[in-house]
Structure 1
Amino acid sequence: MAYHRSVRSAERADDGKGGRMIRQVRPADFDRLREIEFAAGLQFRDVGLAFIADFPLPPDDYLRDFLGRSWVAETGRVGGYLLAEEIGGCAHIAQVSVDPIYRGQRLGQKLIDHLSDWAKTRGLGALTLTTYRDVPWNFPYYRRIGFRLIEPTPDLQRLIDREAAIGLDPAARVCLRREVS
């Protein structure tokens, strides 16, 4: 089943399936984003990373900083979200989370593809992210959807250093990049 996007406005994209849409995050979505983050975080307990499940949920001020660079995937209800920033001339995925009840519906991939379109319109040549090397739904998943392992650029290294300061083991993290097509 191919994903078809037709842009309806500068901030909405429909996959042609009637009911699935990518749109910009609004402040009214913040509570739902935290619900998704909580539910998605629980799976980290199963791989020995319970401290991630216990991270504080993002406050309104943090989410507000991403307005204009954040999107939700709706399937009648918000099922996933993506937060992005520009780092080193690339669109960097700061967070992408999908409610586990929507697993397998490709919401994360649709959000990432939408970010790729957004990046292209801004002249950004690639998407980047940092993630866990050995978590099955992280590194292997991103490789399947076109990301490749890269050495950290100076900008990404600064990000990894900030992640280390909040408890993410830099030895377990990898940097990934996908060219914008």
Structure 2
Amino acid sequence: MDIRPARPDEFPLLQRIEDASGAPFRDFGMPEIADDDHLPLDELARSHVWVAADPGPVAWIAVVELDGHAHVEQVSVHPDHARRGIGARLLDHVQEWAAGRGLAGLTLTTFRDIPWNAPYYERLGFREVAELSPALAAVVAEEARRGLDPVKRVCLHRRIDNGVRKRY
């Protein structure tokens, strides 16, 4: 499995991977999340995006710099390739990239009680953010504007110490 920067011509495929990776939300009683719009092409173009390719993209991650952190906007693994550690490898890749840029760590927002969301990230060393920065609070506010209940969401952080992943 090769992790490499995404090419702009692959962005429509990445949207299809995101749509497919959202399907399990339907089985979890959250069809509105399964049917939610994917990350728009213009947002993908403004983000740092990497794919896991085997040989073509089967998973991807999009990141922006936010408050001195690499903020994960989206990570999607096609269901045909799920449960193989690909998402964790993408996160580790971003962590190495962030360390090289002198960033403090990774942040993301996710569902608090969905097994493949917050509990998954916590197993990978992420911890709940105690106090939101203004920029992270703006992310949460934008999610709420789009209909995501802030009570069901959580902001998580995994810090970088000397370029090495720090598990708490």
Q: Using structure 1 for the length normalisation, give the TM-score.
A: 0.85
1:30 aligns with 2:40: no
Corresponding residue number in structure 2 for 1:176:
156
What is the one-letter code of the residue matched to 2:5? Answer: Q
Corresponding residue number in structure 1 for 2:146:
166
Corresponding residue number in structure 1 for 2:78:
99
What is the one-letter code of the residue matched to 2:152? Answer: A
- What SS class does the counterpart of residue 56 from structure 1 fall into? coil
What is the number of residues matched between the two proteins? 160
Please list, as runs of the form range in 1=range in 2, the aligned pairs for 1:99-118 lying within 5 A after superposition: 99-118=78-97
**Residue-by-residue CA offset, 1:114-152 (whole Å, 9 max, x unaligned):** 000110111001101010001010011001111011122
Q: Which has the higher contact order (CA 8 A, sep 6+)?
A: 2
Corresponding residue number in structure 2 for 1:156:
136
What is the one-letter code of the residue matched to 1:161? Answer: A
Corresponding residue number in structure 1 for 2:42:
61
Q: After TM superposition, which residue ranges in structure 1, 4 or more long, deviate above 4 angstroms?
A: none
Please list, as runs of the form range in 1=range in 2, the aligned pairs for 1:7-18 lying within 5 A after superposition: none
Q: 2: distance between equivalents of 1:57 and 1:128?
A: 20
Corresponding residue number in structure 2 for 1:8:
none
**Residue-by-residue CA offset, 1:51-74 (whole Å, 9 max, x unaligned):** 1111223332222122xx110001
Q: 2: distance between equivalents of 1:50 and 1:21?
A: 32
Q: 2: distance between equivalents of 1:175 and 1:57?
A: 20
Q: Which runs of 5+ in 2 are unaligned?
A: none
Over the residues paired in the alignment, what is the CA RMSD in angstroms?
A: 1.1
Q: 2: distance between equivalents of 1:160 and 1:130?
A: 8
Corresponding residue number in structure 2 for 1:119:
98
**Residue-by-residue CA offset, 1:58-106 (whole Å, 9 max, x unaligned):** 332222122xx11000122211000001111111101000001001211
- What SS class does the counterpart of residue 92 from structure 1 fall into? strand
1:140 aligns with 2:97: no
1:45 positional shift = 0.8
Q: 1: distance between equivalents of 2:156 and 2:41?
A: 28
Q: Using structure 2 for the length normalisation, give the TM-score.
A: 0.91
- What SS class does the counterpart of residue 4 from structure 2 fall into? strand
